[in-house]
Structure formats: C-alpha cells, structure tokens
Amino acid sequence: ECVHQTPQPVSLPPNPTPAELAAAAQQQQQNFISIDPTTGAGFTINNPGEAHPLRPYWEYLSYLFRKLPVLGSDEQLEADYRDYLQAPLQPLQDNLESATYEVFEKDTIKYVQYEEAVYRALCDRKACNGGKASPVVLMVVGAGRGPLVSASMRASARSQVPLRVYAVEKNANAVVHIQALLRREGWQDKVTIVTADMRTWQAPEPADILVSELLGSFGDNELSPECLDGAQRFLGPQGISIPANYTSFMAPVSCHKLWNDVKAYNDREHFETPYVAKFHRHYVLAPTQEMFSFSHPNRATPIDNNRHKRVVYTRPVELGSAIMHGFAGYFESELYKGVWLSTHPPTHTPNMSSWFPIYFPLKEPIYVPAGASVEASMWRCSGAHKVWYEWTVTAPSASPIHNVCGRSYFVGL
C-alpha cells in the first residue's frame, strides 16, 4: 500500500552515511516512513543492539525520521481527511449544513485574500472618481453565513469608501447567522439581506462589484461559471466580478489507497465520479497541465461553458516506470488584479485549507513504462439540467471514456 511507483531499487551501502544516499532516494525512504499522519510513522523501527550487523541501517533510518518536518496546526486539522474520498458539493441542489460552513470559515487566509481584492477594487474606484469616495454597490451572491460580508466591510473601512451591500443567500438557516452578524456589528443600515436564489432574484439597482465564493476543487466543478453568468445581469456597465477569472490544472497520479477505496464499491458509477481528496500516499507522475479557463463578467455571445482539452505529459526515462490510477486536479483564481487563490502546487496560497484537490479515477490502473508519455482528454459538458465531466487516457494504453453523457455523475443545475 506504500509503494506508489516502480523505480530502480534503492539499497543502502555498508555503514551508510547521509551523504551516501541521493536526495531523491532519501525522500523516497522518508515517504515510506511518514505514513500515519497522526504519529508521523507507519511502522516501528526497533533498535537491533550495538553489535547487530543492521545497527548502521537502523541509525540511518533514525536519521531520516528525525529529518521529517513537524506537522503544523493546519496539517494536523487536515490529518483525518488524508486519502479519504469525499463527494463534491451540489451547491444549487443542496443547502450546506452548518458544520460545512464552519469548516470553510476556519480558513482565514481565504477571507484575507477576498478582503484585499475588495480593498483594491474600492481604491481603484476611488481613484477613478478623482479621489472622491462615492458609495459603491456591492452584492455578495451566495453569502453563506456572512464571512464575505465581513471581509467586504473591513475593506470598506480600510479604503474609506462607503458600501451598500446586498447579501444574497437562499439557505434560510444561514441567513439567521447573517442577521446576528449585522446586529453584532451594527451594519443593519449598510447591509440588506436577500433570502432568495440568485438565479431568480431581481436586483433593485445595478451593482458595481459582484463578490462570490462558488469555486470548487477544480475551479469550475461547483457551477461557478453557470451561476456567475446568470448573476452578471446584476452588474452595471462598468461592474466587476470577484473572482475575475480561474483556471484548472491536472496531473496524472499514482494513488493506490484512493483507487482501492473506489474499487471497494464494486460498481461502474464510483469509478466515473470525481472525488475531493487530500492526497497523502500518492505520487504525481508529471507536472500539471492547464485545462479549463473562465473569466467574469463573461461578455461572449452566446455564452458557451463547454470545454475540451487534450494534454500530453512527458516523463524522463530516469524517473522509471509507474502505475497510474487517475488524475489530480487543482485550480488558480485571480480575485482582482494580482490577488490570487490557488490550490495549484507551484503557486499554492500559503496556509489556505478551504479546498483539497479533486481526484478523477480510472477504471483500471495503467502501467506507464520508463520514458513513456501519458496522453489524456477531458471534456466539460452541459445539458439543460446538469453539468458533467468525461475523461479518458489514450497513451501509453487506451482507457474507455469515463462518465459518458453524465451517466454516473453530474452537478445539477
């Protein structure tokens, strides 16, 4: 269960020292040690005794163990979710539970970024108005329990630009928390609560800024494009959206534990369902490739949110062969002019924990020989009442197309 790839065997020399094992091999050995996220070790290494011939090897493994990084507070909170399959949210069909909101709200970094984005947008509005702080109409669509309302009001105070805020939320249970927030902060005269679905609500005035947190683990997988395309009717001619754009990324991955958890269901449906997962025992076979991009407001005519992308992942021969169990997905989102949220490993927002990656499984693992490329295609498809993904591998060997016509998984509109 610990073996993620099939590299050349790594053997320790007699009386090994830290300098005698290559950095990559040291990392591999550490990966084998750090299996249990709560204890930091997946097995016990007993002291064989001073005179035992394996004593030098024990000392070396102990050295590698001491080099393991200490889990931070965020990692400790995430430990229970490592290599655990979670179904993506259905935000339009289902109302979120209070516990789900609480998890999101613990991620203060995300709301710091939103506050900074709103602050910069307000400063730009003020500058364009000759330094005059005219009132700005801001609409939070999908306000939840109010964290984006709070972030926007903090940005207003920092920029000294007054706001008229509309908090639009269809979940009546969440609205109760917004009402309590307004009473506690004294914002009743600045924030109007709208208990309605953003798709049917008619705004009383055009908005200057539209703020939302509808992004999913793959960026667009929780219907952010469809929701914001509908909500952009609230914007005035010069109105802006926060977020302004987002792009998904994908990489082939070896993840024996997650794949076997899917296999345990013993049906086609679960192999054609993408899952939110905190990857732990895994190996990324090649660097990520860009997939689907969306921008808001979307002025295209007609608007088409269907997408298709074919990608080729190259792997150097020296990385050896590997077994591929599916794809890991991430996203980057520019909220406003240089303010970013990212789960994409090269640009990951530090200490942000709101989103785990997404996992697209394969029905059968695929053997990737040393030096072989991985070729894959993915489609984002939409119908009258649903949106879904289809994916397939065409090299080094072919897989069937997964989730044809959304037969196993879709997000309901």
Report how far residue 360's alpha carbon sits from residue 191's, in angstroms, rounded to the nearest whole number: 41
201-206: which pairs have CB atoms within 8 A and are 24 or more residues apart? 201/168, 203/139, 203/166, 203/233, 203/234, 205/137, 206/137, 206/234, 206/235, 206/236, 206/237, 206/239
Cα dihedral 310, 251, 352, 105 sign? positive
Q: Which residues pair with 284 in a beta bridge?
A: 253
Q: Which of 222, 332, 334, 390 is catalytic?
A: 222
Residues 6+ apart with CB under 8 A from 245: 293, 294, 295, 296, 333, 334
222 part of the active site: yes
**Residue 132, Cβ neighbours under 10 Å: how many?**
10
DSSP state of 226: H
Report how far residue 180's alpha carbon sits from residue 354's, in angstroms, rounded to the nearest whole number: 24
Is 205 in contact with 234 (CB distance < 8 Å)?
no
The alpha helices in 210-368, defined as continuous H runs, are 224-231, 256-263, 268-271
At residue 24, what are phi and psi to the nearest 5 degrees? -65, -40
Closest CA to 167 of 143, 201, 203, 148: 143
Residue 64's H or E segment, with its range, is: helix 55-67
CA distances from 130 to 101, 135, 160, 162, 406 (A): 40, 14, 14, 15, 52
HSE-CB of 342 using CA atoms within 13 angstroms: 14
Report how far residue 79's alpha carbon sits from residue 247's, in angstroms, rounded to the nearest whole number: 27
213 part of the active site: yes
> Pairing relation of β-strands 321-336 and 339-342?
antiparallel
Report how far residue 343's alpha carbon sits from residue 329's, in angstroms, rounded to the nearest whole number: 9
Q: Which of 115, 169, 213, 272 is catalytic?
A: 213
Is 189 in contact with 200 (CB distance < 8 Å)?
no
Query: Which residues does the annotation mark as catalytic?
Result: 213, 222
